[in-house]
Structures are given as structure tokens and as C-alpha cells.
């Protein structure tokens, strides 16, 4: 078993051609390039068991022999770019599971699936591979062009892989950074196997949710942050196609991924302090704000306006307001799509990947970077929980803005316990704690919606310029804000009750 550490970049066919002939690349080449034709068949069960465990099993035809490869994520990872890999050479293209296995974290042994595995998709790749030496590290640069075939559907492959053979993982990032800047290539957040499954199940453009995070019990805090941050980054980048396709859930999931990453930066902030981190935080905030209007208008339409349409007859003012909100939602979607097609987005993703894996913080002597992760988690979750409980005890005295900040603090704590849940085994205590936080966030979220809708009602009442329908919209928005304000007192009492319930929860991390 080895840990495969590699960086993928997506590029156009023209960009790949430029890379193959780039004179500057010769400075790092330490041997002749070679052209290979790699045909691979991927295997899984009818239920796609391996996919469910974020694993991949393939047999690749390499010249006159065959290589069986099994890749899986595991809590033993120490790098945000790493996956565990098992390989063996075969005499013929037939699965041999005699020595193949999966770690205990995966939850099953591969040999148990013998007899249930069958081909699920294929890749055909023309690879130009060049060995590189960069400051003492040995790397392989692979330029891949080809296609994925699944159920008579095809998807082109145009990508660059920089794989560490021996040396330092940050040298993979350094070379990848040079290539990305020269070519204006994009970060490749998905593997060939992941794209193969999407093609097979015809899931292109569908929203993608967050995946579970596994952390090593013995990991250091800096190592854990890399794994967490890369998971969050993959979450939001995986929803790019869904947003481009106009999927509102794609916008929501991309925003969730961004919030999870920003929350992780906040949780580990003492370790990450520095000008680089400040820039990354600013860029992530920019993208979050670009996605905001599309999602905010969708939520307003679904949760506030739709119930008003149940009245019979529907007031004309409500219909006019709904039409305006739909217009704003569509404009917000176009704004979101422009943002993720921009050069700023491409740079943001790449720079964030580079910062996570080899930013200045990884070389600093910042407090806590080498602290055992379990000790860090215990300290951080205790501190955040105590702060939240103190504020919940006087929630009725907090201003609307202070309650909004409390909601954000609770949301960050929810994300934090999700990041760290694999480190602990008190499942019942975790569930009780998580559900209580979820209900608190929902209660405070409704209070915040009331605040936002009140401000929006004022904006409708005093438009910047007169236009047709403005009076009706202002009337309907004012009616909504008035109805919601009556709910505030009950919501505050609910929040206090949930606060006492949280206080009674026994920490699952102790």
C-alpha cells in the first residue's frame, strides 16, 4: 500500500499541446518523455458499493501487461491531495482479489465483493508522461487526452497530472502552480473514476452534497486542516456545472461548501494567521456574495411568498411582488453564473488549493500546528460551546444583529462537529448535540429572516425610483413583515428552551 499524492489540472487540447512543447519545462525534465495508450476498465457492484465508499477499482492495459489498481480514501491520509493505492501486475485482464483489501475505515473488505463485481465504465487515454526533478523531489508529469465511455455516453478527457514519486508533497503544488499560471489551466477537483460514475448514472449538472470527512486519530492539527479544507473545496467546486445549468440547489450547495470552508478557516484561525490567509478569506467572501442574491430570492419566494399564494383569492399585490422577486432571482442566477465563469473564479480555486497545501502557514511556527488534533478539538469545541451557551442565556436581551451573529456561531459549531465526528465514537451523544444545534440554527434563522424581510419592506416602501407596481409590492412586503414580526416572541422563547437543552447535552468529545 502506498499513498498517492497528485494534483490534477483541467485544460483544453490546445493548452496541452503548448505544454508538451514548452521550453521552460525542459529545465525540470530528468529523462525522455514517453507516449502510452492506457485503456482502463473500472469495476463495481450493481449497487455501486465501491462508489459509495469513495473507492475505485480498475484494470489497466499498459503495453503487454495489465495492472490492477484499487484506490480509496482513508483516515491514515496526511495530505489533502492524497489517496491510498494498492497495485498488482496481472498476466491477464481478470480481477485478482486474493491480496486486495480495504482499510478498516472503509467499512468492508474488497474480497467480500468477489463474484459481485463487473465492468461499469471504461477510459481510453493517450498519455504523454515525462519524469521531472524539482529541488530534489522526483515527480511525473502526465498529459492525458482521451475519453470516458459508459452506457453509450462519452465524456472527453483533457487533463494534466503531477504525481509525487519521491520527495516533498509541496513540490507537486509548486510545479502545478507554474503550469497553471503559464497555461491558465483550472484545478481538477474530480478524478476520472468520479467522472465515470457521473457519466454512467447520467448525473452531469446535478447538485453535489458534502462528503463525510475521515481524520486520523493520531493526526496533527495542520494535517487535519488540509484534509478538511480540501473536502470543503471539492464540495463547492463540484457544483459548478449545476450552477451553470441554472440549478438553484447547485447554488445552495456551492454556498454551503464555501461556508464550510470559511468556517474551517475561522476554527483554525490561530494557526492560519497571515497576509495570505487574509487574501484567501477575502476571495471566498467575494464568491459567497456573488452567489447570494440568487439563493436569497429563492428562499424568500419559497418560504415567505408561497404561503401567501394559498389565500383565496390571491391578493393582486402578492402576485406583483412574486413576479418582481422571480425577476430578481433570475438576475441573481445570471450574476452567479458570470462569477464562476470568470478568471477571478479560476484563480480563486487554484490559489486556495495551493494555500491549503503549501501556503506560508504550513511553514510557520504558529501555535497549534503540530498539536494532536484530538487535543485541539477538545479545547476548541469546549470554548465555542461555552460562548454560545452564555449568549443563549440572555437571548431575549440581544439585538437582532447580535442574534444573527449568534446564529453564525452556532452554524460554525455545527460544521466543526461534522468535521471532527470521525475522531469520536459516542454516536448517540453526537446525534443529540447535532440535532439541538440544528434546531437552534433554524429558530435563530427564522428570527434573522424576519429582520431581513423587515429591511426589505423598507426598501420596497422607499424605492430609488418610481416604477409600475412599486406601491403594490411595498404593500405586500409590508404585510409579510407585519405577519412575521408577530412570531418573534415565540421564536425567542423556543430558542431559550433549546439553549437549556444544549446545556444538558453531554459533550460527545469527552
Instruction: Give me the pLDDT at residue 60, please.
Output: 96
Of residues 243 and 299, more confidence is placed in 243
Residue 125: CB partners within 8 Å, gap ≥ 6? 37, 38, 39, 40, 144, 145, 146, 157
Instruction: Give me the pLDDT at residue 1, please.
Output: 63
Distance of alpha carbon 148 from alpha carbon 150, whole angstroms: 7
Give per-residue pLDDT as tens, 211-237: 999 898 899 999 999 999 999 999 999
The model's pTM is 0.88
Residue 306 pLDDT more than 80?
no
C-alpha cell recorded at residue 507: 459533550
C-alpha cell recorded at residue 261: 470552508
Spell out where 299-368 has E strands: none
Residue 106 pLDDT more than 50?
no
Which domains are delineated in the chain? Answer: 2-204 (2.40.320.10), 372-510 (1.20.120)
Cβ(468)–Cβ(364) under 8 Å? no
Strands 137-150 and 153-166: antiparallel
Instruction: Give me the pLDDT at residue 448, please.
Output: 82
Q: Which residue has the cell 494534466?
A: 160
Amino acid at each position: 500500500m502506498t499513498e498517492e499524492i497528485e494534483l490534477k489540472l483541467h485544460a483544453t487540447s490546445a493548452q496541452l499541446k503548448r505544454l508538451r512543447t514548452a521550453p521552460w519545462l525542459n529545465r525540470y525534465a530528468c529523462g525522455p518523455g514517453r507516449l502510452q495508450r492506457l485503456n482502463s476498465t473500472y469495476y463495481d457492484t450493481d449497487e455501486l458499493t465501491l462508489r459509495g465508499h469513495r473507492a475505485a477499482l480498475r484494470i489497466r492495459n499498459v503495453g503487454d501487461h495489465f495492472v490492477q489498481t484499487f484506490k480509496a480514501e482513508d483516515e491514515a491520509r496526511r495530505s489533502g491531495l492524497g489517496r491510498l493505492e494498492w497495485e498488482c501486475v496481472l498476466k491477464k485482464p481478470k480481477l485478482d482479489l486474493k491480496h486486495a483489501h480495504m482499510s478498516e475505515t472503509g467499512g468492508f473488505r474488497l474480497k467480500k465483493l468477489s463474484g459481485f463485481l463487473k465492468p461499469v465504465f471504461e477510459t481510453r487515454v493517450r498519455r504523454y508522461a515525462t519524469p521531472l526533478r524539482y529541488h530534489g523531489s522526483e515527480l511525473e508529469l502526465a498529459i492525458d487526452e482521451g475519453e470516458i465511455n459508459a452506457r453509450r455516453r462519452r465524456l472527453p478527457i483533457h487533463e494534466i497530472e503531477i504525481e509525487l514519486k519521491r520527495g516533498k508533497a509541496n513540490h507537486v503544488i509548486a510545479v502545478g502552480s507554474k503550469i497553471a499560471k503559464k497555461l491558465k489551466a483550472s484545478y481538477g477537483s474530480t478524478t476520472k473514476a468520479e467522472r465515470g460514475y457521473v457519466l454512467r448514472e447520467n448525473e452531469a449538472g446535478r447538485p453535489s452534497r458534502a462528503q463525510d470527512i475521515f481524520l486520523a486519530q493520531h493526526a496533527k492539527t495542520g494535517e487535519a486542516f488540509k484534509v478538511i479544507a480540501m473536502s470543503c473545496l471539492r464540495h463547492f467546486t463540484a457544483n459548478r456545472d449545476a450552477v451553470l445549468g441554472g440549478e438553484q440547489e447547485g447554488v445552495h450547495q456551492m454556498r454551503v461548501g464555501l461556508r464550510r470552508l470559511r468556517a474551517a478557516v475561522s476554527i483554525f484561525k490561530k494557526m492560519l494567521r497571515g497576509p495570505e490567509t487574509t487574501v484567501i478569506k477575502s476571495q471566498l467572501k467575494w464568491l459567497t456574495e456573488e452567489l447570494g442574491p440568487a439563493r436569497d430570492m429563492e428562499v424568500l419566494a419559497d418560504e415567505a411568498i408561497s404561503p401567501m399564494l394559498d389565500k383565496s383569492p390571491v391578493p393582486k399585490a402578492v402576485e406583483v411582488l412574486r413576479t418582481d422577486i422571480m425577476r430578481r432571482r433570475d438576475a441573481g442566477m445570471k450574476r452567479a453564473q458570470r462569477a464562476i465563469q470568470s478568471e477571478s473564479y479560476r484563480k480563486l480555486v487554484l490559489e486556495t488549493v495551493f494555500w491549503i497545501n503549501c501556503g506560508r502557514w504550513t511553514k510557520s511556527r504558529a501555535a497549534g500546528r503540530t498539536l494532536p488534533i484530538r487535543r485541539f478539538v477538545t479545547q476548541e469545541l469546549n470554548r465555542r460551546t461555552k460562548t454560545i451557551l452564555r449568549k443563549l442565556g440572555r437571548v431575549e436581551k440581544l439585538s437582532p444583529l447580535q442574534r444573527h451573529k449568534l446564529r453564525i456561531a452556532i452554524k460554525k459549531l455545527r460544521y466543526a462537529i461534522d468535521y471532527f465526528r470521525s475522531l469520536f465514537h459516542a454516536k448517540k451523544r453526537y446525534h443529540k448535540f447535532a440535532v439541538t444545534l440544528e434546531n437552534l440554527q433554524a429558530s435563530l434563522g427564522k428570527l434573522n429572516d424576519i429582520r431581513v424581510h423587515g429591511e426589505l419592506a423598507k426598501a420596497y416602501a422607499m424605492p430609488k425610483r418610481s416604477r409600475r407596481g412599486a406601491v403594490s409590492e411595498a404593500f405586500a412586503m409590508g404585510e409579510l413583515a407585519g405577519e412575521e414580526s408577530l412570531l418573534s416572541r415565540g421564536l425567542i422563547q423556543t430558542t431559550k428552551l433549546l439553549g437549556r437543552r444544549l446545556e444538558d447535552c453531554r459533550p460527545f468529545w469527552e
